[in-house]
Structure 1
Amino acid sequence: MNRYLKDKSTDVTDSTLSNYQTTLNVFCDWLTDKGGVENLNELTSDEIQRFKEWRLENVQTITLKTDMTCVKGFVRFCEHINAVPDGMSQLVRIPKPNPEDEVSDDILTRDEATEILDYLEKHEYASLRHVIFAVLWKTGMRRSSLYALDKRDFEDGASPYLRVRHRPDTETPLKNKRKGERDVRISGEVADIVRDYLRFNHPDEEDDHGRTPLLMSTHGKRCEPSTIQRNVYTVTRPCHYTGECPMDRDIDECEATSYNTASKCPASISPHALRRGYVTEALNAGQPKEVTADRVDMTHDIMEKHYDKATKNEQMERREDYLKDI
C-alpha cells in the first residue's frame, strides 16, 4: 500500500492522496481482520467482493463507487509488481449509482448571495469573512484556489485580478496543478473589499515559507481550508444575515449558532454550493460556457453534470436569444 501511495504521489494532489490512504487503510484492515488475508498473493476476487458487500452496509453507493475505484487502482498496481495474480483488477466490480445520487443540489441563489453581501457590506465590511464570501461568489473558484492565494497575487489597478498559481513545494497545490493556473478578473467592488481588508485587517506577516498569504488568521497564519469552510457555513446561516430562522428554531437555543457548529444548520451551505451558484447564475446571465469553464477551471462535462443547476424555465430563457422563427 505504501509503495502504491508513493507511486501516485507524483500524479495527484495531497488531498487526493490522503483520500486514497484513508480508503486503502480501511481495505487493508478489513483484509487482515475479517478477510483472513495476510499476504496479497492469497487475494482472490471473493475477498474483494465480500469487502464491497461489507462496505455497502456502512456507506452510500456513491461513496462505495469512489472506494472501489481506488481499490481497483491499487490492485492494478499490485499486478504490476507481481503481488497479486494477473487480471485480478478486472474482477473488481465498480457499482453504478443512480445519476441523481451522484449530483448534489446544494446551491446558493443570486438573491441569497445579494442579501448576504449587503449584510457583510454593512456589518462586517472588509473582514476576513467578507473577503472569503465575496471572492468565492464572484469568481466561482475552488476553496483550495482561494487558500493558495498570496497577497502578491492580488493585482490592484484599473483592471484588477487574482493570480491563481500552483505552488506545491510550499504547500499550496492546485487541484489540476499547472493546468489550473490562470488569472481571474475581479470587479472593482471586490477589489475594494480585498484592498481594504489588506489595509485595515490583514496581519501582513509571512508564513513558514516566506510567503504572505492573502487570507490570514489573527495569529498571522495562512487560513486553513477548514477556516474558509466554517466562515461560509457561518455566513450562509439565514439567522446570521437576516436575524430570523426559516425553520422556526429558537435561535438562543439552537446548536448551530456558534462558529464551530454552523454546519449543523440545515440551511447553511458549503463553499462548493457557492461555486455551483456562480456557474448557474453566470450561464443564466448569458456568459458563454467556454468562458465560464475556463474561469472556474472546469470541463464542460463536469460543469453540465454537477454545477449547472438551472431550472427548466431558466434553460428555456437561455435559448431565447438564439431561436429563429422558421
Structure 2
Amino acid sequence: MQRLCYGAVRLSMSGPRKLTPREAWHRYLNSRRTELTEETASTYHYRLKLFTEWCEDNGIETVAELDGWLLDQYESFRAGQNIASTTIHNEMETLKSFVEYLERIEAVDDDLGERVNVPDIPRGERSRETKLSADRAIPLIQNYRNDDTLSGTRSHALLETAWHTGARLGGLRSLDLRDFDREERTLEFVHRPETDTPLKNKNNGERIVGISEQVSKTIVEYIQSDRWDKHDENGRQPLFTSMQGRPSSNTVRIWMYMATFPCLHEECPHGYEKAACEFRCHSKSSQCPSSRAPHHVRTGSITWHRDRGVPKEVTENRVNASQDVIDEYYDKASRQERMEQRRRPHLHKLDIE
C-alpha cells in the first residue's frame, strides 16, 4: 500500500490568510500525518476534498473568506444531496477539526470553528445494525469443521479467527505466521506501519489474544494444507496469503464475503441455484443478501462474547475497543436477547426464599 500524497506544502510569504482552500487542505493533512492511520487519513482526505471543491466552485479563493454563513451554506449543500445523516455528521465533524487548525495557524478569524455546526443524530442511527449473528455464525463454523472438503481451508481459518478474536480487517491482514503460537494457542497483533500493516489504534492496538484448541487446530490445518507459502514485498510471511503474498484489504473483505455464504451449509435462503448464482464470483460476492464483511463479523463476534458472559474488561482487551465504543457501535443484542441471555440467569440471586 502506498501512502497518500497530499501535495507539496509551500511556504506562503504573504501569510496564512492567503492560503487557498486547496493549499490549506493539504497542509492540514500533512500536519496530522504522524498521528493518523492511513485509513483514517484517506477518509479525511476525501471529506475535505469535497469541501475544497465546493469552495473552488463558489469562487472562494482564500480561507480568510470563510465565515459562519459560508460554512452553513456548505452544510445545506451536502444535506440537499440526499446523503445519510451519519455521513453529514462525520463530514462536518472533520470540517470543524480542519477549521480549528486554521484558527491555530491564524488563517481564519478566531472562534470560527465554533460556528461549524455538527448536526446531532439519534444514538440509534450512529451505527449499522448489520452483523453476522451467532445463529448464523455457529452453524457455518460447525459445517466447516465437519465437512472434509471445507475443513482447514483459508475461508474456514479466516472465519474462525475473525469470529473468535473479534479482530478488525486490518488486524486479520496484519497477522504473520510468527504471530501464531501453536503451543500457547495465541495470536499476537502487532503494529508494523513501516512494512504496510498498521493497526487502527497503533501501539495501543497491540495485544496477544488466546484462542481455543479447536481454533488453533483449524489454523494449523490451514497452514499445512491450504496456505500459499509466500512472502510479502517486505520479506514477511503473512498468515493469510494470496498467490501474490499479503492480500490487500479489499481482497480480505471479498474472502470474508465468500466465507459467509449461507449456501455453504444449507439451501440458498434466497431461492438461487448454487451452480448458476452470480453472487458466487469474486466481483459480486458482496451483493449476496446474506454474505457479510469483516466488520459485520466483528460486530457479531463482540455481541456473542457479551452474550456468552465474557467479562467486559476481557472483551475490551480481546477486540481492542473501549466499553463505550462496544456499547454504542458493536454490541447489537436486542433488548429481549439481553434479558434472556444475560439477565435471566441471575434472577436466582434475587430469590427471597
Query: TM class by shorter-chain length?
Result: over 0.9
**Which letter maps to 2:51?**
F
Aligned residue in 2 for 1:146? 172
Please say if 1:207 is aligned against 2:232.
yes
Q: 1:27 aligns with which of 40, 51, 55?
A: 51
Counterparts of residues 237-256 of structure 1 (less than 5 Å):
237-242=261-266, 244-249=267-272, 254-256=277-279
Q: 1:203 to 1:258 in 2, by over 3 A?
A: closer
1-structure distance, mates of 2:44, 2:223: 37
Q: 1:312 aligns with which of 330, 335, 342?
A: 335
- Which structure 1 segments of 5+ residues have no match? none
**Which letter maps to 2:123?**
P
Q: 1:16 to 1:192 in 2, by over 3 A?
A: same
Structure 1 residue 250 displacement after superposition = 5.2
> TM-score if structure 2 supplies the norm length?
0.86
Please say if 1:178 is aligned against 2:203.
yes
1:125-174 CA-to-partner distances (Å, cap 9, x unmatched) read: 222222211100111111111111111000111x3100111111111111
Which region of structure 1 is more displaced relative to structure 2, 83-92 or 121-130? 121-130
Contact 1:31 1:47 in 2 (8 A): no
Percent identity of equivalent pairs: 34
Structure 1 residue 90 displacement after superposition = 0.7
Contact 2:131 2:297 in 1 (8 A): yes
Q: 1:253 to 1:126 in 2, by over 3 A?
A: closer
Structure 1 residue 108 displacement after superposition = 1.7
Structure 1 residue 254 displacement after superposition = 4.5
Aligned residue in 2 for 1:284? 307
Structure 1 residue 325 displacement after superposition = 2.6
Q: 2:222 aligns with which of 179, 194, 197?
A: 197
1:235-294 CA-to-partner distances (Å, cap 9, x unmatched) read: 22323432x232334556554232221111222222112112111122111111111111
Structure 1 residue 52 displacement after superposition = 1.0
Contact 2:192 2:199 in 1 (8 A): yes
Aligned length: 322
2-structure distance, mates of 1:192, 1:71: 48
Q: Look up the SS of the partner of 1:82 in the other structure.
A: coil
Counterparts of residues 108-119 of structure 1 (less than 5 Å):
108-119=132-143
Which region of structure 1 is more displaced relative to structure 2, 69-78 or 310-319? 310-319
Q: Look up the SS of the partner of 1:163 in the other structure.
A: strand
Structure 1 residue 29 displacement after superposition = 0.5
Aligned residue in 2 for 1:228? 252
Structure 1 residue 303 displacement after superposition = 0.9
1:108-137 CA-to-partner distances (Å, cap 9, x unmatched) read: 222311221233331322222222111001
Contact 2:156 2:259 in 1 (8 A): no
Structure 1 residue 314 displacement after superposition = 2.8
Instruction: Flag as ranges the 4+ runs of structure 1 deviating above 6 A.
Output: none
Q: 1:164 aligns with which of 189, 202, 205?
A: 189
1:53-104 CA-to-partner distances (Å, cap 9, x unmatched) read: 1112332110111111111111111111122111111100001122221121
2-structure distance, mates of 1:199, 1:240: 22
Aligned residue in 2 for 1:271? 294
Please say if 1:83 is aligned against 2:119.
no
**Which letter maps to 2:180?**
F
2-structure distance, mates of 1:283, 1:41: 50
Please say if 1:218 is aligned against 2:243.
yes
Contact 1:255 1:264 in 2 (8 A): no
Counterparts of residues 36-51 of structure 1 (less than 5 Å):
36-51=59-74
2-structure distance, mates of 1:115, 1:226: 26
Aligned residue in 2 for 1:97? 121
1:179-233 CA-to-partner distances (Å, cap 9, x unmatched) read: 11110011111111211222222232322212111111023x1011211111121
Q: Look up the SS of the partner of 2:233 in the other structure.
A: coil
Structure 1 residue 45 displacement after superposition = 1.7
Which region of structure 1 is more displaced relative to structure 2, 253-262 or 138-147? 253-262
Which region of structure 1 is more displaced relative to structure 2, 307-316 or 3-12? 307-316
Question: Aligned-pair RMSD on alpha carbons?
Answer: 1.7
